[in-house]
Amino acid sequence: MSLIYVLNGPNLNLLGKRQPHIYGHETLADVEASCRRLASELGHELRFHQSNREYEIIDWIHEARENGAGIVVNPAAFTHTSLAILDALNTFEGPVIEIHISNVHKRESFRHHSFVSHRADGVIAGLGTEGYQLGIRRVATMLKTPKND
């Protein structure tokens, strides 16, 4: 049983309330519950965190280096601004899947660049909150597939 971290960036605590025409009506608690069910079905444990503070996300990535096998991360606005999160992710040896609820490529041009993508093993965007489950499934698959060094 491996531990998968699901990390969420700023303003995702307002999911379901903030711009539901973009992000939907599901709350972050709803997303967490469905992620926990899926992780359990796949035989994994889950740590689910959200913060509006960049340093907390970095601290959780550092914690995942010691305890985690994979990371699913929705960095939200930090996607486009945080070299510090990229640097932290670069220290993590397991699979990393970047997710975005909206299709960032159909939005403002500043959202088209992701620092996190430079480390991510895969990126899921525009599939709503279902992207979280897809990210967890992909991490689980990657964890059972041996690496070719």
Is 8 annotated in a binding site? The answer is: no
CA gap 81, 35 in Å, rounded: 27
User: Does 87 belong to an annotated binding site?
Assistant: yes
Query: Does residue 52 have a known ligand-binding role?
Result: no
How far the first Cα of the chain sits from its last, in Å, is 23
Q: How many whole angstroms separate alpha carbon 80 and alpha carbon 83? A: 9
Q: Which residues are catalytic?
A: 23, 100
Q: What is the DSSP letter of 148?
A: -
C-alpha to C-alpha distance for 149 and 127, rounded to whole angstroms: 32
Structure tokens at 111: 């959202």
Q: What is the DSSP letter of 75?
A: -
Distance between CA atoms of residues 35 and 32, nearest Å = 5
Is 121 among the annotated ligand-binding positions?
Answer: no
| 47 carries a ligand binding annotation | no
111 is in an annotated binding site: yes
Instruction: Mark the binding-site residues, compressed into ranges.
Output: 74, 80, 87, 101-102, 111
Instruction: Mark the binding-site residues for substrate, compressed into ranges.
Output: 74, 80, 87, 101-102, 111
